[in-house]
Amino acid sequence: MAEDTTPLLEAAHNSVYNRFSLSQKRIIVALVSSSATLPMFASGMFIPTIPQIALDLDSTGPIISLAVSLSIAGAALGSLIFATYSGFYGRRPMYLYGLPLLCLGSLGVARCATIPQLMIFRFIQAFGTSGGMAVGAAVIGDIYKLTERGRAMGIFFAASLFGNAISPAVGSWGARYSSWRNVQLGLFAAACFVFLGMLFGLPETSHPGTMGKDKIDSELSEGSERPAPKFKWVWLNPFSCLWLLRSPNLLLVTITGIAVLLTDYALLLPIAYTIGVRYNITNEAAIGACFLPMGLGNIIGAPLAGILSDRVVIKWRARRGGVWVPEDRLRGTLFGAATLVPLSVLLCGLVTHYVDGPVGLVLNLILFFLNGLGVDLVLSPSSAYCVDIMHSRSAEMMAASMGFRSLLLSVAVSGILPSINRFGLVATNTASAIFAWCGCLMLWVTIRYGDKMRAWVDVGYSTIETT
C-alpha cells in the first residue's frame, strides 16, 4: 500500500511548485534578482567614492566609512522586519513598501550637506534595500522544489551579485566624470524602475493558505456570515526569528557566512588606502575597475555552486537509497571555505606589502577573482541549505541569518581601517584568513554531526515531505 501512495504523495507535494509556468518562474527570478542587485549597488557604488565624499563634506575616510557600518546595521534591522512580515502578509507587499524607502534614502544621500544627514539617509537607503536578499531567497524556495532549488538559488545569487561586478566601477566612474551625488541619483532612478517592475510584474508566491493573514481571515470568517476585512494590521516581533539561531546547525552556518564575508570587506573597503596607495592609483575610475575581478568571481561562482550543490544532494540521496540528509548540500562548500577564501585574503596582504609594480597589482586582481569565486561557493549552498531545513519559515530564517550576520559585520567592518592603520595590512588580512578557516571548521562539524545537532534543538525543521 505504501508503494502505491508514495508517488501520489510526492505528486501532491510537487503540485504546489507547479503553480507557475517555467516562463513565469523566470520572470519572478529576474524581478527578485534585480531587487537583490540594488543592495550591492547601494554599497558597491558608495565605497570607492569615500575619499571624494570625505573631501566634499570636510571629513575623513574613517569617519565616512562609518556610514558603511551604519548601513549594514540598517540592512540587518530591515531584513528582520521585512522577512517577518513577509510570512504574514506575503512576499509581494514587502517589495512594494521597501523599495520606496530605498528611493527616499538614495535621494537624501544625494542631497545631504552634513555628516549626520549622510548617516541618516544611508540608514534609510540600506533599510529599503534589505528585503531583497532575505525575501528573494524565500521566493526562490516558494517556486522551486528541493532538487531544483540549488540551481535556482545560484542563478538568483549570480544575478544579484552582478552588482558586485559593476557597481564599484559605476560608482567610481560616475564620481570621476560627474560627482558622487549624481551616482546616488542614478541609484534613485534604478530603484524607481525596479519598483515599477515589481508593481506590475510580481505575483504573490507564498504557498496558498500558509500566510498568517490567511489563517486569521479563516478564523474571522468561520461561523460568521460577514466576510473577513480586507486588511488588518498585526504587530509582529521582528526579532523573534533570531530565536531560530538557537539551532546549532543554523548558527554555525551563519557564523561561517560572517567569516567569509569579512574577507570581502577586508579586501574591498580599504582598497583606496591599500592597493590605491601602494600602486599609486589615484583615479577613482581605475580604483573602481579593481573591483571587477571579484564581481566576475561572484558571477561565475554562484551558479556553479548551485549546480554542484544540487548534484551533491541527488548523488548522496541516491547513495543512501532515497534517504535525504540536508547537510549533504554543504559538502560542496568545503573546497572554497578551506582554500579560496582564506588564502586569497592572506596572500593579498602579503602581495600588497612585498610585491611592487604591475606584477603586484595583477596578482592582487587574480586573488580578488579567487576570493569572489570562493565566497559564492560557500554562501550559495549555505543559503539553499537554510531554506531546505526551514522551508516553512524560509524568509524568517534567511533574515535571522542575514540580520545576525550583518549586525556583527557592522561592528567588524568599522574596525578594518583602524586595524590596518595600527597593526598593518598583513596582520589584518591574516586575522581575517584565520577567522575564515574557523568558518570552514564549523562547516565540517555541521556536515559531520548535523543530524545529531538537529536532534539537540528542534526549531521546526522541514522533512522531505515539507521541504
Which tens digits make up the pLDDT trace of 432-447?
A: 999 999 999 999 999 9
7 versus 284: the higher-pLDDT residue is 284
CA end-to-end distance (rounded Å), the chain: 24
pLDDT at 425: 92
Length of the chain: 467
> What is the rounded distance in angstroms from the CA atom of residue 211 to the CA atom of residue 221?
16
Query: pLDDT grade, residue 9 (50/70/90)?
Result: very low
169 falls within a domain: yes
Q: What mean pLDDT comes out for the span 381-408?
A: 82
Q: What mean pLDDT comes out for the span 168-195?
A: 88
What are the cell numbers at 315? 548523488
Q: Is the pLDDT of residue 398 over 60?
A: yes
Q: What is the domain-level CATH number for residue 395?
A: 1.20.1250.20
223 falls within a domain: no
> What is the rounded distance in angstroms from the CA atom of residue 7 to the CA atom of residue 18?
16
427 falls within a domain: yes
pLDDT digits (tens, 9 = 90+) for 270-316: 887 888 888 988 776 787 778 788 888 888 887 888 888 888 888 98
Cβ contacts of 348 within 8 Å, gap of 6 or more: 267, 364, 367, 368, 371, 429
175 falls within a domain: yes
Top-ranked range on mean pLDDT: pick from 2-16, 67-81, 246-260: 246-260
pLDDT digits (tens, 9 = 90+) for 93-141: 999 999 999 999 999 999 999 999 999 999 999 898 887 777 888 898 8
Count: domains in the chain? 1
Tell me the CB-side half-sphere exposure of residue 106, using CA atoms within 13 A: 26
pLDDT at 150: 79
Q: What is the mean pLDDT of the chain?
A: 84
> What is the rounded distance in angstroms from the CA atom of residue 435 to the CA atom of residue 316?
29
91 falls within a domain: yes
179 falls within a domain: yes
Which of 37, 53, 166, 162 has the alpha carbon at shortest distance from 102? 37
pLDDT at 3: 45
- pTM: predicted TM-score of the whole model, two decimal places: 0.77
Q: What mean pLDDT comes out for the span 359-382?
A: 92
pLDDT digits (tens, 9 = 90+) for 17-65: 788 888 898 899 889 988 888 888 887 788 778 888 888 888 887 788 7
Q: Is the pLDDT of residue 465 over 70?
A: no
CA dihedral (253, 306, 431, 162) in degrees, to 10, reads -120
Domain hosting 63: range is: 20-204+238-456
- CA Rg value for the chain: 22
Tell me the CB-side half-sphere exposure of residue 201, using CA atoms within 13 A: 18
Query: pLDDT grade, residue 1 (50/70/90)?
Result: very low
462 falls within a domain: no
108 falls within a domain: yes
> What is the rounded distance in angstroms from the CA atom of residue 115 to the CA atom of residue 64?
8
